[in-house]
């Protein structure tokens, strides 16, 4: 696992003309002064325009902070998302553009996440007739996770609509009641489930293999192998996403800071420092992963509480209930009643 190259919040790994360009472009089209936009980011406009600048994720976050301060309107995340794809991502853009159906497009997004979505990493989860897509922090987005999630979901909704030539029947899950419901309704559509305790997209499996008009098999294949070559030299997963993935895989063995550290080949103190650098902690990651897993087991698989408690190594259902309340603000019984009433 440690042999897999990963990038951290301070690794220079984001091509400025790829992902950040959507943000800079949005700000410029709204007449934002470029000095104000780039203040404190360590980015210079001339370097950016030359198209050879590589940024650290931390610089992207500084840029995000500036944009959110200068353009505080609720629609900013949605506008940035709408501009993201096809964008200027080199072969990854062509691969996405020439995908034959939604499933291929999603696979490209997951596979070349480091290029197409360096700050959030998409995760696919299959259940019954539906596919769920979750967006996770890749490398320490901290306070920007919600903004970035709105942005990435908008990007995927828009691209799939353009490529399919019609709007797809997405369903959306939001953690609570959003402050600006109208933005979600207009940019995403009406099928929005609030109070789902996590962000997610949902689509029926039948939509996945539906052929898209712009499919170009050979173009897609060439673009994919070009991307593969690129990623051989570059790290292809963010540290936080890698760590979450490890926790998810090891849930059955009840991982701890110590076991995780030895798995990553570093001391517990170094791991702690590394997580802190990414604005998070072991407990925060562990709680998040367990919350998501508990939600999946309780709402989708409808497992009994005691079973979930055992699987997550809680002493009994009461302890799980208390932890669940801490994670989501409600107890599991309220959750299931809310979900069933929504149906």
CA-wise closest residue to 239 among 153, 331, 141, 336: 141
Nearer to another protein, 41 or 159 (CB): 159
β-sheet with 120-127: strand ranges across: 120-127, 130-137, 200-204, 171-173, 192-193
Q: How far is the CB of 284 from another protein (least distance, A)?
A: 32
Residue 301 contacts another protein per CB under 8 A = no
DSSP 8-state code for residue 299: I
Residue 25 contacts another protein per CB under 8 A = yes
Instruction: Using CB under 8 A, pick the residue from 12, 45, 49, 186 that binds another protein.
Output: 186
- Report the alpha-carbon distance of residue 224 to residue 181 in Å, rounded: 37
Instruction: Using CB under 8 A, pick the residue from 14, 16, 37, 79 that binds another protein.
Output: 79
CA-wise closest residue to 314 among 287, 281, 338, 336: 287
Instruction: Using CB under 8 A, pick the residue from 143, 185, 301, 307 that binds another protein.
Output: 185
Q: How far is the CB of 50 from another protein (least distance, A)?
A: 22
Residue 82 contacts another protein per CB under 8 A = yes
- Report the alpha-carbon distance of residue 157 to residue 189 in Å, rounded: 9
- Report the alpha-carbon distance of residue 277 to residue 178 in Å, rounded: 29
Instruction: Using CB under 8 A, pick the residue from 88, 101, 162, 293 that binds another protein.
Output: 162
Q: How far is the CB of 164 from another protein (least distance, A)?
A: 12
Region from 108-116, 186-194, 297-305, 326-334 binding another protein, contact rule CB under 8 A: 186-194
- HSE-up (13 A, CA, CB side) for residue 318: 0
CB neighbours of residue 46 within 10 Å: 7
**Residues shown for the chain:** 343
Region from 74-82, 114-122, 251-259, 319-327 binding another protein, contact rule CB under 8 A: 74-82
Instruction: Using CB under 8 A, pick the residue from 16, 71, 92, 223 that binds another protein.
Output: 71
Q: Alpha carbon 182 to chain centroid distance? A: 22
Specify the DSSP element, H or E, that contains 307. Answer: helix 305-311
Residue 29 contacts another protein per CB under 8 A = yes
Residue 161 contacts another protein per CB under 8 A = yes
Residue 73 contacts another protein per CB under 8 A = yes
DSSP 8-state code for residue 206: G
CA-wise closest residue to 160 among 88, 85, 218: 85
Instruction: Using CB under 8 A, pick the residue from 10, 34, 54, 74 that binds another protein.
Output: 74
Q: Segment 163-182, which members bind another protein (CB under 8 A)?
A: 166, 180, 182
Q: What are the residues binding another protein (CB under 8 A)?
A: 25-26, 29-30, 71, 73-75, 78-79, 82-83, 158, 161-162, 166, 180, 182-183, 185-187, 190
């Amino acid at each position: 696992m440690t042999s897999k190259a990963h990038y951290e919040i301070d690794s220079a790994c984001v091509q400025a003309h790829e992902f950040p360009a959507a943000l800079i472009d949005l700000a410029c089209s709204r007449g934002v002064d470029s000095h104000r936009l780039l203040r404190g980011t360590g980015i210079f406009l001339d370097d950016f325009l030359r198209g050879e600048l590589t940024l650290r994720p931390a610089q992207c976050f500084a840029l995000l902070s500036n944009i959110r301060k200068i353009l505080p309107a609720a629609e900013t995340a949605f506008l940035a998302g709408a501009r993201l794809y096809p964008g200027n991502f080199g072969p990854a853009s062509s691969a996405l553009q020439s995908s034959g159906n939604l499933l291929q497009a999603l696979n490209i997004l997951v596979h070349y996440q480091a290029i197409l979505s360096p700050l959030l990493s998409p995760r696919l989860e299959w259940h019954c007739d539906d596919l769920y897509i979750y967006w996770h922090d890749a490398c320490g987005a901290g306070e920007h996770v919600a903004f970035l999630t709105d942005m990435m979901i908008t990007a995927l909704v828009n691209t799939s609509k353009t490529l399919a030539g019609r709007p797809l029947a997405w369903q959306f899950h939001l953690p609570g009641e959003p402050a600006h419901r109208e933005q979600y309704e207009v940019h995403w559509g009406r099928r929005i489930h609030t109070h789902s305790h996590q962000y997610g997209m949902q689509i029926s499996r039948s939509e996945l293999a539906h052929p898209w008009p712009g499919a170009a098999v050979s173009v897609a294949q060439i673009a994919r192998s070009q991307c593969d070559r690129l990623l051989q030299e570059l790290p292809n997963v963010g540290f936080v996403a890698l760590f979450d993935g490890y926790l998810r895989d090891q849930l059955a063995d009840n991982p701890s800071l110590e076991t995780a550290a030895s798995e990553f080949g570093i001391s517990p103190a170094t791991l702690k420092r590394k997580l802190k650098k990414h604005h998070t902690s072991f407990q925060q990651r562990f709680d998040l992963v367990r919350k998501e897993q508990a939600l999946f087991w309780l709402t989708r698989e409808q497992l009994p509480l005691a079973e979930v408690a055992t699987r997550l190594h809680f002493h009994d259902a009461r302890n799980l209930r208390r932890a669940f309340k801490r994670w989501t603000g409600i107890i599991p019984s309220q959750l299931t009643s809310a979900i069933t009433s929504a149906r």
